[in-house]
């Protein structure tokens, strides 16, 4: 190694803005903030449920607002694109499947995930009485 | 980090990522419906209370929240590093503490609902 190796200058705080792939990586990783937000919002809902009918209905009423509609709609689209789709795309790389001697095609594994997701979501929507 | 600890953290991260990928679009859609004032039948007090009183309901809700919290905590720790916060020890304490508090609160409320 030379005494003065060249180190490419790289910002520690904005490096992911240099390249489209890095940007997608950063946009995907920050979905963890949405996971945390909705987990704690659900825990807050559990607290209201534990306190009784009045608290529960007050909680539901407190959630009704135009800013929250916009936020949830944005979060739904963002989360689906960057977390759900991203996670399903990675699934065949994280756990490749063998059928006998043959590898299952990556597209089959990804498609299987979407199918299960659709069935689970439809079941849950039916379960809570939306459909 | 010791290998055993790493496997545990990664196991929770992967399980939480899978659970949240499958279920959070539904969860967010529920909150969207509530925000619109179109609260579904399943979220009316008697119905949701009945669900949360059953052991199946308690275990399901706890499992989803527990895994999602630890997934988010571990990913947030890495995100902090990526965005230039290099105090990994302090970050780890903060995010894992938050996940622990969330886990305990979820368990407490679920057990208290009868």
Q: Which of B19, B31, B44 to mutate to test the interface with A (most CBs of A within 10 A)?
A: B31
**Chain A environment of B25 (Cβ under 8 Å):** 76, 79-80, 84, 117, 121
Q: Which pLDDT score, from 0 to 100, does residue A77 have?
A: 98
Identify the pLDDT of residue B90.
Answer: 97
Lowest mean pLDDT among A7-21, A100-114, B33-47: A7-21
Averaged pLDDT for residues A5-25: 91
- Residue A51: is it exposed, middle or buried by C-beta count within 10 angstroms (0-12/13-18/19+)? middle
For chain A, give the mean pLDDT: 95
Does residue B59 sit in helix, strand or coil?
helix
pTM to 2 decimal places? 0.94
pLDDT at residue A82 tops 60: yes
Check if CATH label 1.20.1730.10 holds for domain B3-112: no
ipTM over 0.90: yes
Distances from the Cα of B111 to the Cα of A53, B37, B68, B98, angstroms: 17, 29, 19, 20
Tokens of A23: 């940007």
Pull the structure tokens for residue A60. Answer: 């539901």
The structural domains of chain B, with segments of one domain joined by +, span: 3-112
The stretch A111-124 carries a mean pLDDT of 98
Tell if the CB–CB gap between B22 and A29 is shorter than 8 Å.
Answer: no
| Domain definitions of chain A by residue range | 15-97
CA separation for the pair B52, B55 (Å, rounded): 8
The two most distant CA atoms of chain A are separated, in Å, by 72
Which residue in chain B has the smallest CA separation from A126?
B42
pLDDT in tens, chain B (114 residues): 567 778 888 999 999 999 999 999 999 999 999 999 999 999 999 999 999 999 999 999 999 999 999 999 999 999 999 999 999 999 999 999 999 999 999 999 999 998
Q: Which of A91, A128, A129, A131 to mutate to test the interface with B (most CBs of B within 10 A)?
A: A128
3-state secondary structure chain A: CCCCCCCCCCCCCCHHHCCHHHHHHHHHHCHHHHHHHHHHHHHHHHHHHHHCHHHHHHHHHHCCCHHHHHHHHHHHHHHHHHHHHHHHHHHHHHCCCEECCEECCHHHHHHHHHHHHHHHHHHHHHHCCCC
* The CATH number fitting domain A15-97, selected from 3.30.460.10, 1.10.1060.10, 1.20.1300.10, 3.20.20.70: 1.20.1300.10
**Token representation of residue A104:** 């299952």
Q: What whole-number distance in Å separates Cα of residue A13 and Cα of residue B107? A: 37
Rounded to whole angstroms, how far apart are CA atoms B60 and B56?
6
pLDDT at B70: 97
């Amino acid at each position: 190694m030379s005494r003065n190796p060249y180190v490419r200058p790289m910002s520690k705080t904005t490096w992911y803005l240099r390249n489209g792939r890095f940007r997608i990586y950063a946009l995907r990783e920050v979905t963890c903030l949405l996971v945390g937000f909705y987990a704690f919002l659900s825990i807050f809902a559990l607290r209201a449920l534990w306190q009784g009918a009045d608290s529960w209905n007050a909680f539901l009423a407190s959630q009704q607002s135009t800013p929250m509609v916009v936020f949830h709609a944005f979060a739904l689209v963002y989360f689906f694109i960057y977390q759900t789709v991203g996670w399903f795309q990675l699934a065949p790389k994280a756990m490749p499947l063998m059928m006998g001697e043959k590898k299952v095609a990556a597209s089959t594994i990804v498609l299987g995930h979407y199918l299960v997701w659709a069935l689970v979501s439809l079941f849950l929507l039916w379960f809570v009485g939306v459909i | 980090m010791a290998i055993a600890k790493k496997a545990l953290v990664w196991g929770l991260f992967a399980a939480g990522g899978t659970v949240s990928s499958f279920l959070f679009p539904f969860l967010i859609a529920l909150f969207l419906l509530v925000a619109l004032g179109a609260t579904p039948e399943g979220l009316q007090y008697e119905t949701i209370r009945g669900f949360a009183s059953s052991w199946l309901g308690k275990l399901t809700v706890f499992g989803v929240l527990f895994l999602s919290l630890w997934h988010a905590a571990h990913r947030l720790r890495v995100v902090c590093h990526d965005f230039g916060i290099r105090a990994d020890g302090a970050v780890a304490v903060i995010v894992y503490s938050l996940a622990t508090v969330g886990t305990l609160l979820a368990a407490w409320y679920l057990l208290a609902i009868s």
